[in-house]
Structure 1
Amino acid sequence: MIKIISVVGARPNFMKIAPLHIALDKYKDKITHLVCHTGQHFDAKMSDVFFNELNLPKPHFHLGVGGGSHAEQTAAIMIKFEEVVLKEKPDMIIVPGDVNSTVACSLVAKKLNIKLAHIESGLRSFDRTMPEEINRLITDVISDYLFVSEESGLVNLRKEGIDESKIHFVGNIIIDSIVNNMHKIDKSDITERLNIEKRNYILVTFHRPANVDDKDKLIEIIEFLNKLSLHKKVVFPIHPRTRNNMIKWNIFDTLSSNIIINEPMGYVDFVNLTKNAFLVITDSGGIQEETTFLGVQCITVRENTERPVTVTVGTNQLIGTNLNNVYNAAMLIVNGNIKKGNIPELWDGQTAVRIADFLAKMEF
């Protein structure tokens, strides 16, 4: 019996491991698949609801690490995950994405000479000031199996000298979660609960520290949203950190009545909001992919993206962090300048099946 431990720690991880867990069920006579939750996202709204909605099993292991600095969090995950690995002796560890849990558990795996697979390999922003970029680079260099979601990942890994035999183009597993759960997504009544008209609101997410941990920048963002809300209602689900900062700096009172503030929401409601939005404005990574698959206009408020296929093939526009430029880009869309996009190669909802089939054929 092959024993595999998959690691989750933050919201984006859950959508990547859930479809894999379902796909591996076909091979349950050969593969035991266990899930370890590091607790990197420790707010129930940021994690527990995702387990329930995505049909992930209750984690077999919960490290309960919580917050802290990058160093504190990474070190704590390594210490606790090593205990699990030494006891369980898995044949392989699978890590998705680019969060601290990803790199921490990757290091533990390789220090103990355990096979390591990375889902979403090869993505590069080429901005090493981003913690996620460091996590991606380190994880890819020590992984034995690199599962790639888009063409740029193949190009990057080859340029970095990764052995071709380790690289596997399987498609984007986050799309599997959308496809698998579309029946639930379409039944969500979130637009009715928020009293908004489908295709006639702008969905906005800002969570990166550079945007929400700086008082002047956060005030600038709120002024931008107020201006935007003159044209369409704005739905703004806010990260707990953003909410705390807005309270601390007395920013809530400056919000337009046409801006709807929400607590972090579950996967089903959020994808429904994304699917039915006129436009999405974000500094996130995964939302660029979801909007491209769903055919929704997206503006990314960053200077770079590690998911360039969303721009070259999809509906995403990379505008930068100058909010005047973002506003101008949004107004072009409001006035009918719609970017046409296509769905990238292998974003077909079958990525998890391809990975599961590959794993089942492996000899350990």
Structure 2
Amino acid sequence: MSILTIIGARPQFIKASVVSRAIVAQGGLSEIIIHTGQHFDANMSDIFFDQLGIPRPNYKLDIHGGSHGEMTGRMLAEVEQVMLKEKPDRVLVYGDTNSTLAGALAAAKLHIPVAHIEAGLRSFNMCMPEEVNRILTDQVSDILFCPTKTAVDNLAREGFSDKPVQVLNVGDVMQDSALFFAQRATAPRGFHLSDGFVLTTLHRAENTDDPARLAAIVGALNTIHATVAPVVLPLHPRTRMAIAKAGLSLDVYVVEPVGYLEMIWLLQRCGLVLTDSGGVQKEAFFFGKTCVTMRDQTEWVELIDVGANELVGADQANIVATVTRRHGQKVEDQHQLYGGGQAAERIAQYLSSR
């Protein structure tokens, strides 16, 4: 069976690293990789291929920038041309990016079956482009690889139990990757802080594109850095521009975007994770760290349920108070919420059996 895999953003590189390895180990499957170019900075794209051992993409489209509609439309057109040329038996997409939706739509219109890894997640906030992407991708996929029981339940409520599709709880490939690469983690170049810092990521449009939310978050980070523990912020280029445009000043430990192995190293040594990312919420859990999430909703509700994660929105006082209260607390995975690190193997086995 020939599989056409579509990736374009950092979380997808990480997920593909373990699934591609499982595909090779499984046998009977061949893989062609398209990199849409959605993440184009070398520190946020090429470095992941170098560090994670992902096969170099067969096609790199270099599509980035522009509005969501423009980017998705360009991807749709160019991905379709590759599909017409390669004629794969199945298309494999990851997560909830514009690359995900473009790949799924192109395949569906060409009547190529689609498998969606990380299916069934819902934030229930249709203002988030990621929510639109994941819902539409699920609708055109015939194999839905869910990372959690919550995701399976979401699909059941939406009527997928009555559709001619396969809904499978395989676990989360992000845990596979975290466990595999933990022993290879390396410090960011020039990093000199002691353990216990507050590891922060900030990039989601709902925060960076809203001046009031961004100002509140920057104020909270500066306060935490001064009163609780050093704040370490690998700064996304888009966030850097938004902060400058808003005339805000960061008084924290800012570093350039880091590779995955450096991110694992930081996760292993931090005292708390403060983020608006989806994936980082889980990565914090994989390494036993409490997470505080600067969003109003999360797809990973099971982390809220077990007390490993708290939502604080963009309220400056709430962010500071919650980080102060939770800093240094450990969490334990007592229920194997994400499959125990065997999701990629289950995915490859199932694809091989089709």
TM range (shorter): over 0.9
Q: Return the offset for 1:250.
A: 4.1
Q: For residues 21 and 263 of structure 1, do their structure 2 counterparts lie closer, same or farther at Cα, with a shift above 3 Å needed?
A: same
1:337 deviates by: 6.3
Measure, in 1, the Cα distance between the counterparts of 2:230 and 2:18.
34
2:223 corresponds to? 227
Report the CA distance between 1:27 and its aligned residue.
Answer: 3.6
Secondary structure of 2:298's partner? Answer: coil
TM-score, normalization: structure 2? Answer: 0.94
1:175 paired residue number = 175
Q: After superposition, where does 1:327-338 map in structure 2 within 5 Å? A: 327-334=320-327
Q: What pairs up with 1:110-129 in 2 under 5 angstroms?
A: 110-129=108-127
* Shift in CA distance, 242/7, structure 1 to aligned 2, threshold 3 Å: same
Aligned counterparts of 2:294 and 2:26: Cα–Cα separation in 1: 42
Contact 2:273 2:292 in 1 (8 A): yes
Cα distance in 1 between the residues matched to 2:46 and 2:248: 29
Instruction: Give matches, 1:3-18, under 5 Å.
Output: 3-18=2-17
Paired letter, 1:351: A
Alpha-carbon offset, residue 333 of structure 1:
1.7
What residue in structure 2 maps to residue 60 of structure 1? 58
Please say if 1:251 is aligned against 2:243. no
| Structure 1 residues without counterparts, runs of 5 or longer | none
Tell me the amino acid that sits aligned with residue 357 of structure 1.
Q
Aligned residues: 351
Is 1:90 the counterpart of 2:83 in the alignment? no
Residues 164-216 of structure 1 show CA distances to partners (whole Å, capped at 9, x for unaligned) of 6510110001111111212211xx133x8321112x21011111122223334
Aligned position for 2:311: 318
What is the rounded CA distance, in whole Å, between the counterparts of 2:34 and 2:111 in structure 1?
19
Deviations 1:23-55 (A, max 9, x none): 011244x21111110111111111111111110
Verify: 1:214 aligned to 2:210, yes or no: yes
**1:193 match: secondary structure:** coil
Gaps of 5+ in 2: none
Shift in alpha-carbon separation, 1:341–1:177, aligned structure 2, 3 A: closer
**Map of 1:1-364 to 2, 5 A cutoff?**
2-28=1-27, 30-163=28-161, 166-185=166-185, 188-190=186-188, 193-198=190-195, 200-229=196-225, 230-252=227-249, 255-256=250-251, 259-313=252-306, 315-334=308-327, 342=334, 344-362=336-354
Tell me how far 1:163 sits from its aligned partner: 3.5
SS at match of 1:163: helix
Instruction: Give the root-mean-square deviation of aligned CA atoms.
Output: 1.7
Inter-partner Cα distance in structure 2 for 1:346 and 1:302: 22
2:187–2:266 Cα contact (<8 Å) kept: no
SS at match of 2:313: coil
Distance 1:337 1:59 in 2: 40
Q: CA 1:123–1:131 in 2, change beyond 3 Å: closer, same or farther?
A: same
* CA–CA separation in structure 1 for the residues paired with 2:331 and 2:112: 45
Structure 1 length as normaliser, TM-score?
0.92
User: What's the CA shift for 1:289?
Assistant: 0.7
Which amino acid counterpart does residue 42 of structure 1 have in structure 2?
A: F
Q: Following the alignment from structure 1 to structure 2, what is the Cα–Cα distance between the partners of residues 54 and 241?
A: 24
Q: Distance in 2 between matches of 1:239 and 1:316?
A: 23
1:345 and 1:225, CA in 2 relative to 1: closer, same or farther beyond 3 A?
Answer: closer
Q: Is the 8 A contact 1:295 1:342 kept in 2?
A: no
